[in-house]
A = this chain, B = another copy of it.
Amino acid sequence: MNGSPVSYTLREIVDLYGGELVGDPQIRVSRVATLENAGAGAIAFLANPRYLRQLADTKAAAVIVAPDSRAATDTARIVHDNPYLYFARVSALLRPARQARPGIHPSASVASDAAVDPSAEIGAHCSIAGGVRVGAGTIVGPGTHLADDVQIGRECRLHAGVTIYSDCTLGDRVTVHSGAVIGADGFGIAFDEDHWVKVPQIGRVRIGDDVEIGANTTIDRGAIDDTVIEEGVKLDNQIQIAHNVRIGAHTAIAACTGIAGSSQVGRYCRIGGAVGIAGHVSICDRVEISGHTSITKSIDQPGVYSGVYPFEPNRQWRRNAAQVRHLAEFARRIAALEQGLAELTRSRS
Interface positions of A from 267 to 312, Cβ below 8 Å from B: 273-274, 276, 278, 289-296, 303-312
Known: A1-B165, A199-B88, A314-B290. A215 touches B184 (CB 8 A): yes
**Interface residue from B142, B184, B292, B306 paired with A318 (Cβ < 8 Å):** B306
Among A34, A143, A290, max chain B CB count under 10 A is at: A143
Q: Any chain B CB within 8 A of the CB of A234?
A: yes
In the A-B complex, the 7 residue pairs with the closest CB atoms:
A307-B311, A323-B327, A1-B166, A145-B160, A304-B314, A184-B215, A127-B142
Q: Any chain B CB within 8 A of the CB of A181?
A: yes
Known: A125-B109, A187-B236, A240-B256. A161 touches B145 (CB 8 A): yes
Which residues on the B side are within 8 Å of A119 (C-beta)?
none
Task: Tell me how far the C-beta of A323 lies from the nearest C-beta in chain B, rounded to whole angstroms.
Answer: 4
**Interface residue from B85, B255, B306, B309 paired with A192 (Cβ < 8 Å):** B85
Q: What's the tally of chain A residues with a CB closer than 8 Å to chain B? A: 130
Whether the pair B163, A161 counts as a contact (CB closer than 8 A) is: yes
Chain B residue nearest to A274 in the complex (CB): B276
CA distance A34 to B179 in the complex (A): 31
Interface positions of A from 219 to 278, Cβ below 8 Å from B: 220, 224-225, 232, 234, 236-238, 240, 242, 250, 252, 254-256, 258, 260, 273-274, 276, 278
Whether the pair A309, B307 counts as a contact (CB closer than 8 A) is: yes
**Interface residue from B91, B216, B310, B326 paired with A200 (Cβ < 8 Å):** B91
Whether the pair A313, B303 counts as a contact (CB closer than 8 A) is: yes
Known: A166-B1, A184-B177, A344-B348. A190 touches B292 (CB 8 A): no
Known: A196-B250, A317-B306. A187 touches B234 (CB 8 A): yes
User: Which A residues form the contact surface with B (CB < 8 A)?
Assistant: 1-2, 32-34, 36-37, 82, 84-85, 87-89, 91-92, 95, 97, 105, 107, 109, 123-125, 127, 141-143, 145, 147-148, 159-161, 163, 165-167, 175, 177-179, 181, 184-185, 187-192, 194-200, 202, 210, 212, 214-216, 218, 220, 224-225, 232, 234, 236-238, 240, 242, 250, 252, 254-256, 258, 260, 273-274, 276, 278, 289-296, 303-314, 316-328, 330-331, 333-334, 337-338, 340-341, 344-345, 347-348
